[in-house]
Amino acid sequence: MDDPSQGNSDYVIEMNHIRKEFAGIVANDDITLQLRRGEIHALLGENGAGKSTLMSVLFGLYKPDGGEIRKNGQVVKINSPNDATALHIGMVHQHFKLIEVFTVLDNIILGAEDTKFGFLSRKEARARITELSEKYGLRVDLDAKIEDTTVGMQQRVEILKMLYRDNEILIFDEPTAVLTPSEIDELMKIMKNLAAEGKSLLFISHKLNEIMEVSDRVTVLRKGKYVGTVNTKDTNKQELSNMMVGRPVQLVVEKGEAVPGDVILDVSHFSVPSRIHSRNAVSDVSFQVREGEILCIAGIDGNGQTDLVYGLTGIEKSNGGTVSLCGRDITRLSVKKRGEDMSHIPEDRHKHGLILDFTLEQNMVLQRFLEAEFQNRQFIRFNAVREYTQELIERFDVRSALGPLTRARSMSGGNQQKAVIARELDRNKKLIVAVQPTRGLDVGAIEFVHSELVKERDAGKAILLVSLELDEVMSLSDRILVMYEGEIVGEFDPKKVTVQELGLYMTGARRQDGKGGATA
Amino acid sequence: MKESFFQRKGVKTFLASLISIMIGMVAGIIVIIVVGLTNSTIADSTIWDGIRLVVMGVFSKGRDAVGNLTFGFNPAFFGNMLFRAMPLILTGLSVAVAYKTGLFNIGAPGQYLAGICATLFVALSIPTSSVAPWIVWTLAFLAGMLAGALWGCIPGLLKSLLNINEVIACIMTNWLAACLVTWAFDVSSLKNVIEGTKTGYIYKTAMIINDYELGGVVGVAGPELPEGATLLATRGNVATAKMGLDRLFAGSQVNGGILIAIVFAILLYVIMEKTTLGYQLKACGSNRHAAKYAGIHDKRNIVLSMGIAGAMAGAAGSLYGLSGNTEFFWATYQSLPAVGFTGIAVSLLAVNNPIGVIFSGVFMSFLNVNGLQLTNQTAYNENITDVIISVIVYLSAFSMLIRSLMEKKKEKPKTASSGEVKA
């Protein structure tokens, strides 16, 4: 590697020896990142490794405590996002910064409007954006309102915003976290296009597959420190994850044969109405989950998996069929009654899983505060709650600033998810409904969650797993059901099916009951 | 370290509110100076009097022989301050409780009216010649709370069952209450006909009202019956016990109601912070979806929260009516009782903390009494205190901002314990 203290104009951006402290926590400790022109440079690290901090320093949101930033070899000072914009640095945030009720066009030009005699001149803007979107393959509907567009299109709008401002350095902060698999494929293509046109991309992620596919080089951070930079083609997933976690990581789930026992969950001709359209979101679905097995529901996002889980857990009302749990008909029971035999790791931890303004300890007893262990004549036993939380924190390695008293909002996404998983697994119910349990987690944490789920299975629990990640589906499940447009279109043994074959069913090209194309 | 964290936060909140109050006071003083300098009817020497009265009018002891203001402990003003604080604390609690459940109870005026209406009907209808006054008092108080609770439940039900915004429903139930109460008193026999000059007023509950019969005609009279009349029943003579406060604050209107208000505040604090009910209510308020996911009955809790809120506002009206020496003006109700809306300010200033509401309620009535002294003893207009109150309310919305500014200043030296966190 070149001596980083010397400016080198091979690099479009150099961040040398960056240090950033937050009230005693060193988030970035002597980190060096060099971005070549026209490359896709991945920044890899666990939750809390300092990736976002480093990017915020580059984008002018934080002022570094040490180190320097160079652009084209010249030292620059970036004190605000405006400075970053002036240096043609743009960022697509993980959570988009768009105005819901504005059109796509207005969102793109917002803040960089061309005016004529004080009036907006959208015509030229439209022409330029159309040209850009064709050049890079960024399909958008310029006149649609943001609230009516898909997440994928919103991301393309964010990218167009950067391009419209002639940005040369594009930062993508975990861009795939919110996308469906097909949208991810499309984004990967777009990113390669951008690099081919001479843009330099910084790609923050902890998804190894994507990094291997799209990046040219990878810089790895661990616990705020610089671990190293490697060429993607000279490395592999195992090496990267070891660098990231600091120890050898089990990428493949280790599990023995399933020994299915009695039927725990019996779903028969079950339907759930859609909240959006008049058809059923889930129609006439039947399946069983037995103790000691992991049944996985695979499918592309939005094919009724969410509604199925809402219906099963009682969050939404069903409109047909029956569900029985541990031999009890729960079709019309309340969420609380169902919870007696069921724990639920929800898909959206911010909406359902946690009360963000509550402390960690308050969140840990969300379902259990009425149990005798935690209340005495309706008075909450705070000591018991705290001890219990402390125990879960240690067992599940939930990291937070103030332990049980941390506000859930101030915890990192990965630790929030760990907290939810800790709570739900410890409730020790016969059935575990886990919806995308590893969403937003890094490899180390994913390894932990997977092994916990397998442990629960081996302890005789029935696990219903809903996942959009085919890797997870293939490695974790004992049986796979594929959902397409609210129906179950096939059942598979993960050992006897390929990802490609599953893909055909997930996209509706095939189905097993003969209604669709060929049978498997 | 855990305790000190909570203390620090409480202290910060308190300081933020205090800073709002200070700035409000300064703004008030500036208004007094500006008005004093520009208004020809106010002598420049009065400005200093005005400033002192706005800041500590409660301690005013009138003017001495030379005409200078004297200050000291004035039991009558102090007692009146507590008396006026009583309904403010209760409506403040009403707003605070609903807010903790994520609801904005702007319906306190209506609930207050419902409470005062039910209370007066019960207190003035049951003959105290056959039922002991303290039982009538209790029944009247409970009726007032219940009426307030029911009135609060209406927007609660609309919100939980039909998802109608509670603010809109509350505004409508306010006016419904105003019209209903006007009508109910209009057709009632509770209009004050004994003190004939007072048209449009309802009997004071402490009055003795005698129903009599004279030559086959039924009539009402005060303690003195007409010649030859037969007494049928006695009503009234119902009032909140003074509980010794009249001796402590001689010459004031204060009664046990202030103690009831304080007990309610403590009770609500305990419920919200220590019990499973409070936990549920706050869970629904902070994240309705998560509450539903956890099997907490969100719809029931919304109604319950509005019910409790309504009961507090109802209690405010009830205790105001039952103080015995206050008169309720009913005739064609033109506006909603201001005490209901001031409850919002009281709650905001206390950052929705029930214990804080006690102090902010007393503070608001402190300003009220100060304002009265300003009008009584100088040429200034009482409305200047409204200016101060509005500045304080405005700033209390900024108390978050003030708090975060304080945090920025103090955050630098940090304990090692939070250093091990992120890793």
Kindly report, residue by residue over A473-487, the tens digit of the pLDDT.
988 999 999 999 899
Q: What are the Cα distances from residue A148, in Å, to A23, A184, A332?
A: 42, 20, 34
- Domain check: are B59 and B88 in the same one? no
Most confident of B57-61, B318-322, B332-336: B318-322
Q: In the predicted model, what is the mean pLDDT of residues B260-283?
A: 95
SS3 readout for A237-297: HHHHHHHHHCCCCCCCCCCCCCCCCCEEEEEEEEEEECCCCCCEEEEEEEEEEECCEEEEE
Choose the weakest-confidence range: A13-27, A281-295, A490-504, B398-412: B398-412
Contact B294/A at CB under 8 A = yes
Neighbours of B5 (CB within 10 A): 14
Domain boundaries, chain A: 1-88+169-179+203-243, 95-167, 252-341+429-520, 359-427
Query: Up-side HSE of residue A311: CA atoms within 13 Å toward CB?
Result: 29
Residue B154 amino acid letter: I
Confidence of residue B140 (pLDDT cuts 50, 70, 90): very high
Question: Three-class SS of residue A222?
Answer: strand
Residue B4, pLDDT above cutoff 80: no
pLDDT for position B377? 86
Q: How far apart are the first and last CA of chain A?
A: 53
Say how far apart CA B197 and CA A103 lie, in whole Å. Answer: 67
A1-88+169-179+203-243: CATH topology is Rossmann fold (3.40.50)
- Domain check: are B253 and B324 in the same one? yes
pLDDT for position A230? 94
Domain of residue B90 covers 84-127+135-190+241-362
pLDDT for position A2? 46
CA angle B90, B272, B10 (to 5 degrees): 90
Q: Looking at chain A from residue 64 to 93, which residues have their Cβ under 8 Å from any Cβ of chain B?
A: none
Say how far apart CA B136 and CA B312 lie, in whole Å. Answer: 20
- Domain check: are B355 and B261 in the same one? yes
Q: In the predicted model, what is the mean pLDDT of residues B217-237?
A: 87
Contact B276/A at CB under 8 A = yes
In a domain, B267, yes or no: yes
**Inter-chain CB proximity A334 and B295 less than 8 Å:** yes
Q: In the predicted model, what is the mean pLDDT of residues B166-177?
A: 94
Calculate the average pLDDT of chain A: 87
Residue A517, pLDDT above cutoff 90: no
- Domain check: are B140 and B266 in the same one? yes
Radius of gyration (Cα) for chain A, nearest Å?
Answer: 25
Rounded to a whole number, what is the distance in Å from the CA of A284 to chain B's nearest CA? Answer: 24
Question: Three-class SS of residue B7?
Answer: helix
Size of interface A-B (CB pairs under 8 A): 98
By the 8 A CB rule, do A78 and A63 touch? no
- Domain check: are B117 and B265 in the same one? yes
Read off φ and ψ for residue B226, nearest 5 degrees: -65, 160
Confidence of residue A310 (pLDDT cuts 50, 70, 90): very high
By the 8 A CB rule, do B296 and B283 touch? yes
- Smallest Cβ–Cβ distance between B276 and the set A346, A370, A399 belongs to A370
Pairing of strands A293-298, A462-467: parallel
pLDDT for position A415? 85
Q: What are the Cα distances from residue B385, in Å, to B15, B26, B109?
A: 22, 12, 21
**Inter-chain CB proximity A379 and B274 less than 8 Å:** yes
Q: State pLDDT tens for residues A69-106.
A: 999 989 999 988 889 988 999 988 877 888 888 999 99
Residue A151, pLDDT above cutoff 90: no
pLDDT for position B5? 46
pLDDT > 70 fraction of chain A, expressed in percent and rounded: 96
Confidence of residue B408 (pLDDT cuts 50, 70, 90): low
Residue A5, pLDDT above cutoff 50: no
- Domain check: are B347 and B270 in the same one? yes
Rounded to a whole number, what is the distance in Å from the CA of B299 to chain A's nearest CA? Answer: 13
Q: State pLDDT tens for residues A418-427.
A: 999 999 999 9
Residue B7, pLDDT above cutoff 60: no
Contact B279/A at CB under 8 A = yes
From chain A, the residues in CB contact with B293 under 8 A are 313, 315, 335, 344, 346, 352-353
In a domain, B97, yes or no: yes
Calculate the average pLDDT of chain B: 86
Choose the weakest-confidence range: B28-42, B76-90, B395-409: B395-409
In a domain, B212, yes or no: no
Confidence of residue A23 (pLDDT cuts 50, 70, 90): low
- Domain check: are B95 and B45 in the same one? no
Q: In the predicted model, what is the mean pLDDT of residues B68-95?
A: 93
Q: In the predicted model, what is the mean pLDDT of residues B13-27?
A: 81
Residue A277, pLDDT above cutoff 80: no
Residue A407, pLDDT above cutoff 60: yes
Residue A371, pLDDT above cutoff 80: yes
Q: In the predicted model, what is the mean pLDDT of residues B381-388?
A: 76
Confidence of residue B61 (pLDDT cuts 50, 70, 90): confident
Contact A402/B at CB under 8 A = yes
Give domain A252-341+429-520's CATH superfamily: P-loop containing nucleotide triphosphate hydrolases (3.40.50.300)
- Domain check: are B119 and B262 in the same one? yes
pLDDT for position B3? 43
pLDDT for position B256? 92
- Domain check: are B164 and B260 in the same one? yes
The number of folded domains in chain B is 2
Residue B395, pLDDT above cutoff 60: yes
Residue B104, pLDDT above cutoff 60: yes
Residue B155, pLDDT above cutoff 60: yes
Say how far apart CA A416 and CA A430 lie, in whole Å. Answer: 24
By the 8 A CB rule, do B369 and B390 touch? no
Q: In the predicted model, what is the mean pLDDT of residues B201-225?
A: 87
- Domain check: are B55 and B91 in the same one? no
By the 8 A CB rule, do B293 and A346 touch? yes
pLDDT for position B196? 66
- Smallest Cβ–Cβ distance between A402 and the set B5, B280, B293 belongs to B5
Residue B407, pLDDT above cutoff 70: no
- Domain check: are B101 and B171 in the same one? yes
Q: State pLDDT tens for residues A428-444.
A: 999 999 999 987 777 88
Residue A245, pLDDT above cutoff 80: yes
pLDDT for position A8? 56
Contact B415/A at CB under 8 A = yes
pLDDT for position B333? 58
- Domain check: are B108 and B40 in the same one? no
- Smallest Cβ–Cβ distance between A346 and the set B274, B293, B414 belongs to B293
Place of tokens 């044969």: A257
DSSP state letters, A5-45 = TS--TTEEEEEEEEEEEETTEEEEEEEEEEEETT-EEEEE-
